[in-house]
Chain A
């Protein structure tokens, strides 16, 4: 699959709309990790969003238009990697379904899907990364985001890599694999229910008494950070890539500049 020139796989970063808009530092952490793993990193600048909000709202036409756009921009690379289980799941598991009934495009979407991975599982499973060069003296707990866990099997990879971070201690919370209540548009369509679910999650996070809450999806992280901060919690919230890349200079999610 690799291009001969450099022997480094040409890897495109699908940065995801939330990281692009809210937390560019996660994107740069992803780039650093991919380069450390030996990838030649490309960022197609025409990217916007994976189309999931339209897909999950039943808007097939817009989903399809967006999916075509993504496939055209990304299919020429060896790998496509996203720092999000949810968006990677959309590209990998749902795109082929988006084109149901259109064999030509479906075949194209399926071929494309074969190249897609979530960032941390890509580093561990595809690039064989077993440890990272990073230090983070903190007690951390890790939340399994739903799509990453159940659609893509992301569970042990982040924990294994986190174990190699110097100074970091991992403390498991209760029900780490239970949804945080974000659910994309769900959080704004049913805010009270979403709040009840994230309240439960925040209690489980607090009970583990960590300094740091980590996860692989910015949507879930913003939801959990928003709840923890509203409750006055001092627990810092970050994307797992920031810690793995040793890039924890930016203020944590929901914290201002000191």
Chain B
């Protein structure tokens, strides 16, 4: 997927001007925030679980290699295969290879952000394999040739009218006068279309919410059950997962699981939780003949031991973006790559380079709401600040901003001169704004005054007045 993060500013401006998108983005508030709050409130031990979950992941990240090897061993012992992929292109190659060996023409897919990260769909299509997304949201955006704008609600940027139009355009085999008003009718329509695909697919690809080292199991959670059909019906099941998905035991998984759905949608549990351990065994009634896991690194092992290690605790619940005022204002596409919102602002620079994704960690007010809701207690603002430090060190900050900052800091470090100039400046500004109490336009403050007035200073500084009133001795 092309990285459009350098155009963040333009994309954000376009998003703010797009009335239909703004209407759709309202869903983020109504669908997620209150529900999460209720879900969390109904679980008194939520805070304790967060602490536990953090400890579990921190423990794993200290011994990532050991757990991954243990996991591989279990998978292999159960007749499955683990494929290690250093980067996106290796991962794509492995998947295509498996598809080719199986003579696969149609591949069904459960929801997977890793698939987005490696740009799998476009690659498979180019090589004659047809991927079919089976998660409703993913299916919709696949029809539209778009990318997800949210990590758990990929089509949240669309309204139902747009979905209806897409279905009408794509499902030409259905009667044009069919009922399409109710959301349920659209769901039923998608189900009908996808059923055919499930039955004709040669390979099923899913993501993984967890990999369990103890048992060699991969776990997915869905609300539609599409993941189960994707991985049970075809002959071959490929799991696409990144290395940080590993947890030691089933018990660890279930602890973190209690946080996941609550943080994401406020549900106690997602509707379906599916554990897969290897291919079909003799005597099993169903299951794939082959079970493959593609383990993607793509820069993650480089994060271990750095100030970005904490980001590897992320369980992709989406709470940080749901609660982010910037995400709520501009939506996910403005971020210009796979991962939007606060988690994307930290992750994207790691995966595509801060020179390209530099806007993202800057486009935050540091309000801290993301960190306060993150079930894994990831210090997102702090890590965005780390990115800003790297940018500052590498002179990636716009030159005029840097000069302004340096000038201000120069004065801030020289109290005497600061006093002289501040006193003077505020007296002048105070006099100029005395009658109206604010400025509608001011040179050097155009960004501010384009949208709001700038309150005028009262005139004179506090310190100046204090000195006069009390004498400088105190």
**Cα-based distance from A42 to B328 in the complex (angstroms):** 43
Taking the closest CB of chain A, its distance from the CB of B96, in whole angstroms, is 40
Contacts of B436 in A (CB 8 A): 256
The yes or no answer to A156 lying at the interface (CB within 8 A) is: no
Bits for A197-232, please: 1 = Cβ < 8 Å to B, else 0. Answer: 110100000000000000000000011011101100
Interface range for A: 35 or more
Contact A22 B457 (CB under 8 A): yes
**Cα-based distance from A198 to B120 in the complex (angstroms):** 39
Given A21-B461, A23-B458, A193-B12, check contact A150 B369 (CB 8 Å).
yes
Contact B452 A198 (CB under 8 A): yes
Contact A24 B325 (CB under 8 A): no
The yes or no answer to B433 lying at the interface (CB within 8 A) is: yes
Total number of residue pairs linking A and B with CB closer than 8 Å: 217
The yes or no answer to B450 lying at the interface (CB within 8 A) is: yes
**Cα-based distance from A189 to B412 in the complex (angstroms):** 21
Taking the closest CB of chain A, its distance from the CB of B27, in whole angstroms, is 15
Given A43-B463, A146-B367, check contact A48 B415 (CB 8 Å).
yes
Contact B453 A229 (CB under 8 A): yes
Bits for B460-473, please: 1 = Cβ < 8 Å to A, else 0. Answer: 11110111001010
Contact A183 B448 (CB under 8 A): no
Contact B368 A146 (CB under 8 A): yes
Contacts of B466 in A (CB 8 A): 27, 43, 45
Bits for A30-72, please: 1 = Cβ < 8 Å to B, else 0. Answer: 0000000000001101111101011111111010011001000
Interface size on B, residues (CB 8 A): 71
Contacts of B12 in A (CB 8 A): 190, 192-193
Question: Which of A103-111, A113-121, A135-143, A246-254 is near enough to bind chain B?
Answer: A246-254
The yes or no answer to B447 lying at the interface (CB within 8 A) is: yes
**Cα-based distance from A223 to B452 in the complex (angstroms):** 8
The yes or no answer to B191 lying at the interface (CB within 8 A) is: no
Contacts of A256 in B (CB 8 A): 433-438, 456
Contact check: which of A22, A60, A188, A197 meets B455 at CB < 8 Å? A22
Question: Which of B53-61, B68-76, B201-209, B389-397 is near enough to bind chain A?
Answer: B389-397
Given A15-B462, A48-B418, A196-B329, check contact A58 B16 (CB 8 Å).
no
Contact B474 A42 (CB under 8 A): yes
The yes or no answer to B411 lying at the interface (CB within 8 A) is: yes
Contact check: which of A25, A48, A147 meets B412 at CB < 8 Å? A48
Contact check: which of B422, B452, B458 meets A195 at CB < 8 Å? B452
Contact check: which of A187, A197, A222 meets B329 at CB < 8 Å? A197
The yes or no answer to A91 lying at the interface (CB within 8 A) is: no
Question: Which of A124-132, A161-169, A174-182 is near enough to bind chain B?
Answer: A174-182
Contact A193 B363 (CB under 8 A): yes
Selected A-B contacts with CB under 8 Å, 23 pairs: A15-B463, A22-B426, A26-B462, A28-B465, A48-B412, A53-B409, A58-B385, A58-B389, A58-B392, A58-B393, A151-B368, A178-B367, A179-B325, A184-B365, A189-B362, A191-B451, A222-B455, A226-B455, A229-B438, A230-B452, A254-B456, A255-B437, A257-B434
* Interface residues in chain A, defined as those with a beta carbon under 8 Å from any beta carbon in chain B: 15, 17, 19-28, 42-43, 45-49, 51, 53-60, 62, 65-66, 69, 146-147, 150-151, 177-179, 181-198, 200, 222-223, 225-227, 229-230, 250-251, 253-257
